[in-house]
Amino acid sequence: MSLIQRAKNILLTPKTEWNVVAGETATMGSLLTGYVLPLAILPAAAAVLGGFLLSHGMFGVGYLIAMAVISLIAALLGFVISTYVVDAFAPTFKSEKNLGASAQLVAYSGTAIWVAGILSFIPVLGWIIALAGVAYAIYLMYLGVGPVKKTPEDQRIVYVIISILVYWVITWVITALIGGILLASIFAASMSMIPH
């Protein structure tokens, strides 16, 4: 199934699509390169374009590209680490321990966030759309955890809450670390170009 068709189905008919996903096999690597990376690039590119247009060039292109790279790396590493964490927690919530299924759950649940992120640079409205994307991603994960991870109904809410919290913490830590390193490097490089 194509990326566009899968994203469309996950967003518009998630209950049906999660049952289709549950019958498929996937690896973390195939999802990372074939689904997560292409979708995560879209909001990063939109942020660069939107940041440049809305700031009228006030922020340098280098800064905007650095922020996009930070966002992209955080999304990719967040996906990988969260997949391992979701899979490690599976037995705690009477769910199937299966790394491929955990990768499917994390990747496809994130669809709403990446699609909403395309419009997140729009002042005020962008933040509302981004928050709606996060809320819908949580709902998508809740719908998917049963069919994909074989999670019993009484365990789903707590499993999803823990998974989402872990994902957010991981993403924030990665963003802070990479952002600090990358921005410090840019600052050091720009300081070295100043004549003494």
CA atoms of 82 and 88, how far apart (whole Å): 10
pLDDT value for 186? 67
Tell me phi and psi for residue 24, to 5 degrees. Answer: -105, 160
pLDDT value for 9? 97
The reported pTM is 0.86
Q: Residue 184 is encoded by which pair of tokens?
A: 């410090």
pLDDT value for 127? 80
- Three-state SS annotation for 94-128: CCCCCHHHHHHHHHHHCHHHHHHHCCCCCCCHHHH
pLDDT value for 171? 79
Q: Which amino acid is at 102?
A: S
pLDDT value for 54? 67
pLDDT tens by residue, the chain, 196 residues: 799 999 999 999 999 999 999 999 999 999 999 999 999 998 888 877 777 766 665 666 777 787 788 888 888 988 998 999 999 999 999 999 999 999 999 999 999 999 998 887 777 787 899 889 999 999 999 999 999 999 999 999 999 999 888 888 887 888 788 777 777 776 776 677 666 6
Burial degree of 155 (CB within 10 A; 0-12, 13-18, 19+): middle
Q: Residue 110 is encoded by which pair of tokens?
A: 């994130």
DSSP 8-state assignment for residue 59 = S
CA atoms of 12 and 138, how far apart (whole Å): 15
Q: Residue 183 is encoded by which pair of tokens?
A: 């921005």
pLDDT value for 120? 73
Residue 151 in 3-state DSSP?
coil
